[in-house]
Amino acid sequence: MATQVQIEQIIDTALSEDLGRGDKTTELVIPPSLGGTAGIIAREAAMVCGAEIIRIAFLKVDNTLQIKVNVPDGGRVKPGDVVLVVTGRVSSILKTERVALNILSHLSGVATATAQYIEKVKGLDVKISDTRKTLPGLRLLEKYAVYAAGGQNHRPDLASGILIKDNHLTALSARGISIADAIAKAKQGGRGMKVEIEVQNLDQLKQAISGGADIIMLDNMSIDDMKKAVKMVPASIKLEASGGITLDNIRAVAETGVDVISIGAITHSAKAIDFNLSFVTGRPAQ
């Protein structure tokens, strides 16, 4: 999970990108003393994630702003619901508006997509996981959004786990190094870390089982082959299905009996959720 320092670094980068040279429009037309209240409002049904993060963004721009979060991360909204209310200098609110909406829209999109996949496998003993297919610089926030929606996080970086993938095996096979040899080498130097290996067919699966892999990823396998794999693998080895997973086929994949289904689309292809920021005249936002 992202630490406070890491979250602030991401926000600082976003604010610098948008506000680093100032806001010419706001500075020219909005009186510095003008106060107001604005609400961030959902325009579609979604699962919210990021409200507490954008609170930090607003306060970084102006620590005198008063902010009320109405919907916690993982909460549901319908069109018209007010997610967050911010009161204070209008100029400060306007300077933060786009960064706040970008973060909230994207993370809510990730959380909503994750929740949709989880709903499809409801009642089955399987976990939905993210991957490293994330947008540059936003991985930790995207993984937080997956977690907030009830999903599971795969390794956050290359140092956090051992996963022998197809390109590792291709490179090793050119030197006559087998799957079992690769697993043994990883276990020897891994200092007790679990070793996961990606396989693309049942022959590779057999080699991974005999080599002593802790976790085996079934990459782009057919439903029939996944069913066979589940029967072949001892209970001590966890099975992960990945590749080509959609909302249409995830239930069938889960019913094969795999332990985890990892989906890159919940991060790299999540549809942004539509929110807008609107100022309220004559009364506080609800």
pLDDT tens for 136-184 read 999 999 999 999 999 999 999 999 999 999 999 999 989 999 999 999 9
Residue 98 appears among annotated catalytic residues:
yes
pLDDT tens for 211-264 read 999 999 999 999 999 999 999 999 999 999 999 999 999 999 999 999 999 999
Instruction: Tell me the whole-structure pTM to 2 decimals.
Output: 0.93
What residue ranges define each of the domains in the chain, with the CATH number in brackets?
Answer: 4-117+271-280 (3.90.1170.20), 122-268 (3.20.20.70)
For residue 192, name the pLDDT band (cuts at 50, 70, 90): confident
pLDDT tens for 74-105 read 999 999 999 999 999 999 999 999 999 999 99
Is 165 among the annotated ligand-binding positions? yes
| Residues 131, 192: Cα–Cα separation, whole Å | 22
Average pLDDT over residues 58-68: 97
Please give the full DSSP string across 160-203, using - where no structure is assigned: S-EEE-HHHHHHHHTTT--HHHHHHHHHHHTTT--EEEEESSHH
**Contact in structure between 61 and 82 (CB atoms under 8 Å):** no
Strands (E), 111-151: 127-129
pLDDT reading at 25 higher than 60? yes
At residue 247, the 3 state secondary structure works out as coil
Is 240 among the annotated ligand-binding positions? no
| Residues 36, 30: Cα–Cα separation, whole Å | 12
Is 274 among the annotated ligand-binding positions? no
